[in-house]
Amino acid sequence: MSSANSLPALRTQPKAIFFTDFDGTITLQDSNDWMTDNLGFGTELRKKGNADVLFGRRSFRDSFQDMLDSVKTPFDQCIAHLLKNIRLDPCFRDFFQWCRANNVPVVVLSGGMQPIIRALLAHLLGEKEVEEMQIVSNNVKARPAMSINEEGGWDIEYHDDSSFGHDKSLEIRPYAALADRPIMFYAGDGVSDLSAAKETDLLFAKAGRDLVTYCENEKVPFTVFNDFSDIQKIVTDVVEGRISVQEAATGRN
Ligand SMILES: [Mg+2]
């Protein structure tokens, strides 16, 4: 069993921990969707795949595998495309600085691939900032007898054996199980967040995205956000004791 000593986000004895999705949450565009839409089988099939997962017809793992299998572009070229096309939520930098100043660890839980996330964050936020951040995600591997930087040469390496590929609840649960623990937040936008949605004290779901639909269908308490300034206001109010997490979970309103 995990003890408080072995959980990385407890090292500084924080009052709160901020878990967050990466793609489409910290960034404005989802990098895997972008690759699928522009380098792989296209938007229409990708959206059909997302809907199949959202309504329980297929696992995230299988649908995501199909998306990425359709991208044959060498991995280094994929990263170069993404660095040119993916932007950061304009308010994330301020939020991240607030978290650092207030001892709130930011833990990235992603269904994306580690080298892409690190390259994008280093580019958009800064090398030093990224080094400090805990990022738990899937990875990339070479296909047999190939290199990741040749045509059709890379494949996703999943974090675990779950139907999510990366079951985000695995990282969150040991914290949730502690008797005396920090307040736990989670921010996300889509189908890769379903495994985490029920695990924290307050869930932020991005306005207009699939996670909002899921939370309403499953009766999971949440609050919507448009950008990280919305999140920062509420996290500040909760951490400073002005409102409770229950009061903050206002759904779409
Ligand atoms: Mg996302």
pTM of the model: 0.94
> Among residues 21, 30, 89, 189, which one is catalytic?
21
> Among residues 23, 89, 189, 210, which one is catalytic?
23
Flag whether 253 is in a domain. Answer: no
Q: Residue 81's domain spans which residues?
A: 4-248
Residue 97: what pLDDT? Answer: 95
Flag whether 62 is in a domain. Answer: yes
CATH label of the domain that carries residue 82: 3.40.50.1000
Flag whether 207 is in a domain. Answer: yes
CB atoms within 10 A of CB 1: 5
> How close is the Cα of 229 to the center of ligand 1, in Å?
18
Count the domains in the chain. Answer: 1
94-107 exposure pattern, b = at least 16 Cβ within 10 A, e = fewer: ebbebbeeeebbbb
Residue 44's alpha-carbon distances to 11, 40, 59, 113, in angstroms, are: 44, 11, 18, 23
Tell me whether residue 21 is one of the annotated catalytic residues: yes
> How close is the Cα of 32 to the center of ligand 1, in Å?
9
pLDDT tens across 62-109, in order? Answer: 999 999 999 999 999 999 999 999 999 999 999 999 999 999 999 999
CB atoms within 10 A of CB 148: 16
> How close is the Cα of 145 to the center of ligand 1, in Å?
32
pLDDT tens across 153-179, in order? Answer: 999 999 999 999 999 999 999 999 999
Flag whether 232 is in a domain. Answer: yes
> How close is the Cα of 72 to the center of ligand 1, in Å?
22
> How close is the Cα of 236 to the center of ligand 1, in Å?
23
Flag whether 191 is in a domain. Answer: yes
pLDDT tens across 177-204, in order? Answer: 999 999 999 999 988 898 898 889 999 9
